[in-house]
Amino acid sequence: VIVIPGNSDLYPWVKSELGKAGAKRMKKLLTGDNIIAVTGGTTMAVLADRLKPVPNSKDLLFVPARGGLDEYVQNQANTIAAKMAEKMNSSYRMLYIPDQISDESYLTIMNEPSIKEVISLVKQSDIVIHGIGDAARMANRRNTSEADMKKIKDGKAVGEAFGFYFNEHGEIVHKVQTVGIQLENLGDVKDIIAIAGGTSKAKAIRAYMKSAPDNTILITDEAAATTLLKG
């Protein structure tokens, strides 16, 4: 666990420091021939801003860990993967599909050769960098249906990652059909960096970390860490 001073709920500079810490840790994990999968979100966008080229960075490949959400384009996983690659003089691939799709569309899309190729690269990632979401906020961002929203609320979900919604005990109470890395894929990933901060994210962090792989590096801030320690 890496803890940054401050509260990112209150001070934008703390979120910037979270991104800086994420960038620094990622660089330590690089071997020169890595596939790095990244999710979307404001913290990931800040991390991308903090990157600079390193020796052998031209051999890196950045890929989006999932499809796109209905949000600002600068916070999309595709955009962030491309920006990271640009900052490090590396390569990237795009995933031109929504994050959440119907079962029928999923079967069709996943048979498209170009999509299958990118998904294959995503699942070969040896570094995954992702955020941890508040369940209610992520459900709203996904324009979740009333029926699924009821499942999330009835299940008392507090956290979300990779389309999985967790209650305070770390149990999965709902999963959406998403394109990209699934929770079960993380077991094959060498290094995982989870970044989330602020008092408001404490419950989500605790819930997700109960199910997170043992090799997960959590980067958070003082406010979330203090709340977690209080139980």
Radius of gyration for the alpha carbons in the chain, expressed in angstroms and rounded: 17
Residues forming a β-bridge with 36: 62, 127
38 with 149: CB under 8 angstroms? Answer: no
- Whose CA is closest to 148, among 177, 169, 171, 110? 177
Side chain identity at residue 40, one-letter code: G
pLDDT of residue 99: 63
Listed as ranges, residues in the chain with pLDDT below 50 are: none
What are 22-78's pLDDT values in tens digits? 999 999 999 988 999 999 888 999 999 999 888 877 889 999 998 765 566 788 899
In the numeric block, the tokens 């894929």 are attached to 185
6 with 222: CB under 8 angstroms? Answer: yes
Separation of first and last alpha carbons in the chain: 17
Cα–Cα distance for residue pair 206/132, rounded to 1 Å: 10
pLDDT of residue 66: 84
Q: What angle, rounded to 10 degrees, do the helices at 77-87 and 42-49 form?
A: 10
pLDDT of residue 106: 73
pLDDT of residue 114: 84
Taking the whole predicted model, whether its pTM rises above 0.85 is answered as yes
pLDDT of residue 145: 86
